[in-house]
Amino acid sequence: MRALSIVLVVWLLVVAPAQAASPLDYTRTILDQAHTIVASSQAHNEKLAALSALFSKFLDTDAMGRQALGAHWSSLTPEQQKEFLGLFRELLQRTYVQKLLLFENPNFVYAGVQQTGADAVVDTKIVTPRDQFDVTYRLQPAGDTWLATAITVEDVSLTANLGSQLNDLLSRMSVDDLLTLMRRKYGNAGGAAQS
């Protein structure tokens, strides 16, 4: 039975919608798959891996990383920028995915969508037996899918929050020191960012 649930989760990850009819539909597809993973009987680390793979198709971590660094971005060399974006991807996915796993049996409610030109904002709620949290995704089209370029939870921007922490660190250390710190926390043993 466990093997069947793992096969089902893998199948859900591989089968992406051929064409998202709308940003709301695509967000619903991703979050429904996330719900299936969180509710599954997989081990914690298996859920983490499955959610990370799923959200790698949904989160534009490069755009979020550049936004989080703000004015510091232009002071990095191209090599530092590339390494930072890889490490930031790990940081953001782990932050977001770990928080999702903390919710007890989360359900997602879709409160609405607003489109301005090509961009869209999808308002959702994470509803648990004990609480609910407003989560807003700012999306941009990416071929037949949509990428989230910003996430706001209870009116707090995840990118701005991480950006504030990075800015604080960069006020006390060099870019190289920041990358070394991030490498220790989010890189592999060889020092390169994990993919």
What integer is the mean pLDDT of 99-105? 77
Tens of pLDDT, residue by residue over 14-38, are 444 444 469 999 999 999 999 999 8
> Structure tokens of 167?
């800015």
Angstrom distance (rounded) from CA 103 to CA 100: 6
What integer is the mean pLDDT of 115-129? 92
> Structure tokens of 30?
């991703």
What is the model's pTM? 0.80
Closest to 59 measured CA to CA, from 123, 134, 150: 150
Angstrom distance (rounded) from CA 139 to CA 115: 9
Could you give the count of Cα atoms lying within 13 Å of 139 in the half-sphere of its Cβ?
Answer: 29
Tens of pLDDT, residue by residue over 153-170, are 999 999 999 999 999 999
Output the average pLDDT for the chain: 85
Q: 9-13, 46-50, 68-72: which range is least confident on average?
A: 9-13
Work out the burial of residue 144: count CB atoms within 10 Å of its CB; fewer than 13 is exposed, 13-18 middle, 19 or more buried. exposed
Q: Is the pLDDT of residue 150 over 70?
A: yes
